[in-house]
């Protein structure tokens, strides 16, 4: 083998090694876990009738149902954040909202001290599945009837998926993401925080610490 042939063979080996490294890095990047945050809004009792109702009445429900663990959570709203996409998702009447929507994370979390968060990490395919499921719900109206009948009458059969409220749709996503073992038809932000904390053996932490 001539010197030129040896140089060509060496270059080929280097090129093949570079291709292998690039493909390996690509495989590793595709397997990186994706961060998904569940943000729970602390009740402010700021004379917003729906938020105040959710906080007060669900506290009473937790007390009457002997779910003592839920009493320590005092939330009136919940959002899921797709961190890598800089987007939050929920159903709300806040800020002139009419139901299910995406919104920029920086807009939703502009008052970080008002939020507590459960941080999760999922495989890319699960993150994509959750995001696509959320996309399919955008535009649905806020389910006032579901809240009133569910929280007052405890009648899940009166709820449906035509309209959604915040903890209903976020709890549904937590079920799709296999955090919750079943779907809960009647679930408040307070109750959802308790269920998720138990399932993940964790608890919400102040968003300011993240």
195 and 102, same structural domain?
yes
DSSP for 53-121, please give it. HHHHHHHHHHHHTT-GGGGG--EEEEEEEEGGGTEEEEEE-GGG--EEEEEEHHHHTSSGGGEEEEEEE
138 and 47, same structural domain?
yes
145 and 175, same structural domain?
yes
The β-bridge relationship of strands 75-82 and 205-206 is unpaired
Question: What's the average model confidence in pLDDT over 38-56?
Answer: 67
156 and 77, same structural domain?
yes
99 and 5, same structural domain?
no
Confidence at residue 3, expressed as pLDDT on a 0 to 100 scale: 58
158 and 54, same structural domain?
yes
Instruction: Give the Cβ contact number of residue 125 at 10 Å.
Output: 11
205 and 128, same structural domain?
yes
Confidence at residue 112, expressed as pLDDT on a 0 to 100 scale: 96
Domain of residue 6, residue span: 1-29
What is the maximal distance between C-alpha atoms in the chain? 89
Q: Which has the minimum average pLDDT: 60-64, 122-126, 131-135, 183-187? A: 60-64
> Whole-model pTM?
0.77
- pLDDT per residue as tens digits for the range 27-45: 555 569 999 999 999 876 5
Confidence at residue 147, expressed as pLDDT on a 0 to 100 scale: 77
**Residue 138 backbone phi and psi in degrees, to 5:** -60, 135
Confidence at residue 64, expressed as pLDDT on a 0 to 100 scale: 47
39 and 25, same structural domain?
no
Number of domains in the chain: 2
């Amino acid at each position: 083998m001539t010197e030129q042939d040896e140089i060509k063979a060496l270059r080929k080996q280097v090129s093949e090694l570079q291709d292998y490294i690039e493909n390996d890095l690509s495989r590793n990047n595709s397997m990186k876990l994706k961060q998904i945050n569940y943000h729970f809004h602390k009740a402010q009792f700021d004379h917003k009738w729906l938020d105040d109702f959710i906080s007060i009445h669900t506290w009473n429900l937790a007390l009457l149902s002997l779910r003592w663990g839920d009493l320590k959570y005092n939330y009136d709203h919940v959002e899921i954040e797709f961190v890598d996409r800089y987007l939050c998702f929920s159903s709300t009447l806040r800020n002139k909202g009419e139901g299910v929507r995406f919104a920029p994370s920086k807009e939703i979390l502009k008052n970080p001290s008002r939020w507590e968060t459960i941080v999760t990490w999922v495989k890319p395919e699960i993150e994509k599945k959750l995001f696509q499921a959320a996309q399919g719900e955008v535009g649905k109206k806020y389910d006032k009837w579901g809240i009133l009948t569910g929280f007052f009458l405890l009648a899940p059969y009166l709820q449906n998926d035509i309209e959604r409220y915040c903890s209903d749709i976020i709890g549904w996503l937590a079920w799709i993401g296999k955090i919750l073992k079943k779907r809960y038809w009647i679930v408040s932000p307070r109750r959802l925080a308790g269920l998720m904390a138990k399932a993940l053996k964790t608890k919400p932490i102040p968003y300011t610490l993240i």
